[in-house]
Amino acid sequence: MNTLNIRRANDRGHANHGWLDSHHTFSFADYHDPEHMGFRALRVINEDRVAPGRGFGTHPHQDMEIISYVLGGGLEHRDSMGTGSVIRPGDVQRMSAGTGVRHSEFNNSPTDPVHFMQIWILPDRRGIEPSYEQRSFSDEARRNQLRLVVDPEGREGALKIHADARVYAGLIDAGVGVEFVVADDRHVWIQVARGRVEVGGQVLEAGDGAAGG
């Protein structure tokens, strides 16, 4: 990686609605920062914590690839395509909004909060048919490696996305190094969900992100 531009956790947008505590890596909702509108096709990285029994009521999306990755608890999803499921740690969900979809997301536990990342990626074409996909990736599959979980071709058992973008997830033990080679014509965004990592000689803490390439 030739350059590494760091976005610190404490510099993100923040909204606390009581039932929802949300951090925005890029401009989102009432948080607007012209210096952080996204990164290439990556438009949103929100880190959300939702109180027990609360959630996002039914709302619309269009022409966006939406990926949810649960860190703790269970997130219940229902949409206008007739899909209903609960995603838990290790599950990855991809919803292609396309021509339009309505959905809701709720914490299905009456006692425990849910902690998850929501990622929005701009599709490579507009007006596709809405679709939904969900898959579970075990701890072992992500342990001390960057496991491909989202891919344009759905390679290696990854979810298929309608964009020239790939998402990897890893659970890296202390003291373990993982190599990831970025091609000359590609760019990469690194987001630390928990713990701390060293990338290119820079230490990234939980909530930190970094752009490279």
Local confidence band at 213 (pLDDT 50, 70, 90 cut-offs)? confident
User: In this predicted model, what pLDDT tens digit does every residue of 60-99 receive, in sequence order?
Assistant: 999 999 999 999 999 999 999 999 999 999 999 999 999 9
Q: Average per-residue pLDDT in the chain?
A: 96
Closest CA to 62 of 18, 119, 102: 102
Local confidence band at 2 (pLDDT 50, 70, 90 cut-offs)? low
Supply the pLDDT for residue 155.
Answer: 95
Cross-strand bridge partners of residue 66: 95, 120
Residue 213 identity: G
Contact 130, 81 (CB under 8 A): yes
Return the exposure string of 63-76: e unless at least 16 CB atoms fall within 10 Å of the residue's CB, then b. Answer: bbbbbbbbbebbbb
Supply the pLDDT for residue 209.
Answer: 98
Mean pLDDT of 176-205: 94
pTM check: above 0.85: yes
Work out the number of other CB atoms within 10 angstroms of the CB of residue 58: 11
Cross-strand bridge partners of residue 23: 14, 47
Between CA 159 and CA 135 the distance in angstroms is 7
Torsion angle in degrees (nearest 10) through CA of 212, 42, 190, 187: -30
Local confidence band at 55 (pLDDT 50, 70, 90 cut-offs)? very high
Is pLDDT above 60 for 1? no
Supply the pLDDT for residue 67.
Answer: 98
Domains of the chain are 4-212 (2.60.120.10)
Q: Percentage of the chain with pLDDT > 70?
A: 99
